[in-house]
Every structure is written in structure tokens, then in C-alpha cells.
Amino acid sequence: MRILIAGGHGKIALLLSRQLADAGHEPVGIIRNPAQAADIRAAGAVPLVLDLEHSTIDQVAAALAGADATVFAAGAGANSNADRKLMLDRDGAILLADASVRAGVRRMIVVSSMGADGFDADSDDVFQIYLRAKSEADAAVRQRELDWTIVRPGALTDEEPTALVTVGKTVDRGSIARADVAAIILALLVDVSGVGRQFEVISGQTPITEALAALPLD
């Protein structure tokens, strides 16, 4: 499968690229900085330069030609301001979804965030805007004619993966290794599981494939 990953140089994206390439797939890492191309290649992916904050739907749809699935793993980053949360974390994800519809690429996995729907609508705190951006992006993706899955991880760590998780419509606050999130995305893509499902996930006691097979219905 040819999988386009938005935020290709991100930590989850690089781990996912390696896992996809090792499993015989063709990951394509979308980057906005051409200097990151060598890192993308080193992770086993093909680099594709595209800035999701400054691209048209036609440009993104053209980049999606021949893809079997997309993954939104981009993020404006911890030090970004509220405007970029809305421009990338929300509008960038919606742009990718709309371009996927236009290009006929039905499968889409979104890396969202635990607790996204609990944002404080009256707050201008950047973290609350981030949660709002994720929540509104997820709501838009759920409305699209796509085979979407929305993954809402707890706090991300760079620890070693355990391949053991707790999933649910909502779960207690907790953390999860980025490599485990990547393994979840790989499993969702390869097994074509979790279509039309949105779930929170943290590190836990259940093997990933078993947890995904028992995903809650909305």
C-alpha cells in the first residue's frame, strides 16, 4: 500500500514510516522543509514537499494520486500559537480529508488527542485552542465520505513500545509511547480495522490487535 503521511518528519510519522517500509508498504512523508528529505528516506519513506498551511485542495489532491490511504500525523508543535493550531491542527486535517475525498482515497487515519472534546470554548489559552482545533477537525472528518479512523492518544512519550494498550471511547488520563501509536496505525491500515471508529488510547495491558478488534462503537 502507498500511504501518505502528513507531518512526515514528526516523531510518530518517522516511526510509522519505518514500520510500514519494513512490512513491505510504500510510505510517503509529506514535509514542508526539503532539508528533511534525507531523514524521510532514512526512515524508508519517499519525501513529498507540501505545506498544508499554504496549499490548495487541488495541490493536495494531486499529491494523493495513487495513494491507498492517508495519515494525518502533523502538528503545529508545542511552541506554536493559537492561529497555527487552527491553521494546521484543524484546517490542515480538514484540507487533507477534503483532498482525500476529491482524489478518491477513502482510507484516512487521524492522530487526534485524548480529551479533545472537553475544550473550554470560552478560553483563549493555547492548549484549549489546540483541543478545540482537534475536536473540530475530528468532527469534520467524521462527516466526510471517508473510511476514517480517529485515534486519540494520551500524552506521547519516546519510551520503548510495549504493544500493550487500553482503548475505549474515553479512557483514564495516561501516556503511550509514540512507537505504540505508530503500531496501532499500522494495524488499522493493514487489517482495515477501526473504520468509522474514534477511540482514546493509553498504554495498558491488552495486545494492540486484540484491543483494536474490540473497539467501541460510537
Binding interface with ligand NAP (CB under 6 A): 6-7, 9-12, 30, 32-33, 51-53, 73-77, 88, 92, 111, 113, 153, 155-156, 178
Q: Nearest approach, Cβ of 28 to ligand NAP (angstroms)?
A: 13
Q: Nearest approach, Cβ of 45 to ligand NAP (angstroms)?
A: 12
Residue from 153, 149, 152, 141 nearest 190 by CA: 149
Q: Nearest approach, Cβ of 126 to ligand NAP (angstroms)?
A: 12
Q: Nearest approach, Cβ of 79 to ligand NAP (angstroms)?
A: 10
Q: Which residue is nearest to ligand NAP (CB)?
A: 10
- Which C-beta is closer to ligand NAP: that of 91 or that of 145? 91
Q: Nearest approach, Cβ of 42 to ligand NAP (angstroms)?
A: 14
- Which C-beta is closer to ligand NAP: that of 145 or that of 160? 160
- Which C-beta is closer to ligand NAP: that of 10 or that of 194? 10
- Which C-beta is closer to ligand NAP: that of 37 or that of 208? 37
